[in-house]
Structure 1
């Protein structure tokens, strides 16, 4: 009988965005692959799916319904592995799998960025820290994706049987890659940009955390020294209208391009000059990894995820205290120096290799197969011959 794995998250888009290669890896190894999340998106590499009403907010009553449904699913299917993701997916799945663990199911949780961390509000520590520490008792393997979270889990002695660090969710360096100057000029023509434009790119949902307002404020300070600067903002969300209004208020609406939801980021990124990131908190941001793989310098606000990827003055700039003036000053440096942009870009292409899909796949496959094969070398050999 084939071994069975269940991936669980709050919403099914999470699997499409981050985990398709790993679903496929299990399928290639002959496993039966199931997913459980809210939504009915069509996804490849799976044998079964369960649409359960997990809510993002822990205070929604429907989470109790989701718990009951998920517990029944786990108990009936007798999974060998349950791998859960996202805060509420991780909470509900680990609670629902407690009985299955006593019968041999291994429960893995990937923390995509603890809400309690250095600089986080006290409320986050009061609410989220005790929950995660308690749930670590019901976790066979806790996977962290940045060094700060790994050190925190070890220092605070989380009770997971194993605590591992992997390099994010992996970036596809075959899909995200640099283009030469001729290709860049031709691509800009296709998208309606001039070769003289200084294109600054940020892809993220418009929400409070992603903080696009900071970038618009910085752009307004560039009008004199970098008149050809254009800010490209890809994504949708509840804060988009407020950002449009801010651009009008600061008289830069002609230089801020709201691109909406895009499926062509691999084509857009390489034709830009610099990647930006303004969020308040991040685990290990994929948007920066994609920009690094395309050979772009990065200017990012200071937080644990950004600071792990961007070393100030080495492969980009890290901006402290959400300072729009400092943000603008660093962008002027890059605007005026082709040499500096190329230097940072080359360094990013080198650095991103440790976060590649292939490298992360080796790390994850080693974790998965140790439970059943006990041999990390064999795990890596099996992974290298599979999807990637």
Structure 2
């Protein structure tokens, strides 16, 4: 079995991380796997084996089509697995041009499908051999949007090797480098500063936390077009001294060591692998009920769930945890327990079984 993964993203986000983990997991399990990614993307720098540069210029751009044809002719895959909406279109077009392979597409976001002929054509297309959602929430969105074909659900997964345990001394050094005192209670969140991640709500909630508690810090990890706006907001709320913006960071696993709890205040969310990573580090999570987050966070078990944009309730739940060490300990153990369900090995095995199923169909 020969599998070609296609991803067009230039950035390094959850989708690119998942495509790479699946590719590497398949290789480790004896599957001949190749990964075609954007020729100027960050994925190219992280993939060590069987990486093919894809000159992508747009979904229906002739350059994109021609370059994918070259890759397909070189690899001769049994299965093409498109990992984002932009890679699905050229993968479908090549099937209409006579290329024979099974096509799998993974839908990672809980955005509604655009009400356009192109979107409807893509997702209801008979040439997709399997359509996969990364959570029940994403699956339900597809069904509610009128997708009539069967939708598989395969959760995203993470390798436990991403769990980095630092010694107390290294943890102290890392805190010092971040401007965090040893006595500070640290709330953290990782993600791109884009509208649907809604860091504005988290920062507003944290303002109320600061009004109640001293020695508390908010560590925000990521980059994006709204980063400067969020820095400005923290200054306007007079909490900039308590908010640490790291920008893009490679050492997410290390940074999890300085956190006492994790927050995710998205308005929309397919699943959220950063929350999974936080849970693998045994962190309680305060999250909104957006998308797939309730499939990770169980209210009053490993954290709290709040309505989207309800910064007052988010602040209240953060403060409850700040004041209850026993609850933090209990939620921490429960987070780690739930995270077992989202191991990379589970994801790889389910995709491998899916590939075999559609090849013999």
Q: Does 1:42 align with 2:45?
A: yes
Give the structure 2 partner of residue 290 of structure 1: 277
SS in 2 for 1:97: helix
Q: Give, in angstroms, the shift of residue 97 of structure 1.
A: 3.1
Distance 1:73 1:223 in 2: 54
| Matched position secondary structure for 1:201 | strand
TM-score, normalization by structure 1 = 0.81
Q: Which residue of the partner structure matches residue 91 of structure 1?
A: 89
Deviation at 1:76, TM superposition (A): 6.3
Match of 1:274 in 2: 261
The residue number in structure 1 matching 2:18 is: 18
Alignment size in residue pairs: 352
| 1:1-23 Cα deviation digits (max 9, x unpaired) | xx532211122646762233332
- The question of 1:148 aligning with 2:137 is answered yes
Over aligned residues, Cα RMSD in angstroms?
2.7
Name the residue aligned to 2:56.
53
User: Under a length normalisation based on structure 2, what TM-score does the superposition of the two structures give?
Assistant: 0.87
Q: Distance in 2 between matches of 1:46 and 1:17?
A: 15
CA–CA distance in 1 between the matches of 2:283 and 2:333?
8
Greater relative contact order (Cα < 8 A, sep 6+)? 2
Could you say what secondary structure the match of 2:189 adopts? strand
Map of 1:164 onto structure 2 = 152
Unaligned runs of 5+ in 1: 117-123, 375-388
Secondary structure, counterpart of 1:194 in structure 2: coil
Query: CA, structure 1 residues 349+25, in 2 after alignment: closer, same or farther (shift >3 Å)?
Result: closer
Query: 2:23, 2:33 within 8 Å by CA — same for their partners in 1?
Result: no
Task: Map 1:149-298; keep pairs closer than 5 Å.
Answer: 149-153=138-142, 158=147, 160=149, 163-168=151-156, 170-176=157-163, 183-184=167-168, 187-192=171-176, 193-298=180-285
Q: Greater shift after overlay, 140-149 or 26-35?
A: 26-35
From the superposition, tell whether residues 205 and 262 of structure 1 become closer, same or farther in structure 2 (CA, over 3 Å).
same
Contact 1:78–1:100, Cα closer than 8 Å, also in 2: no
Contact 2:37–2:52, Cα closer than 8 Å, also in 1: yes
What CA distance in whole angstroms lies between the structure 1 residues aligned with 2:107 and 2:271? 10
1:302 to 1:64, Cα distance in 2 relative to 1, 3 A: farther
1:48 offset after TM fit, Å? 5.0
Q: How big is the shift at 1:173?
A: 2.0
Distance 1:32 1:219 in 2: 44
Correspondence 1:324-343 to 2 at 5 A = 324-343=311-330
Distance change in 2, residues 1:342/1:107 (3 Å): same
> How many Å separate the matches in 2 of 1:112 and 1:18?
10
CA distance in 2, matches of 1:4, 1:322: 45
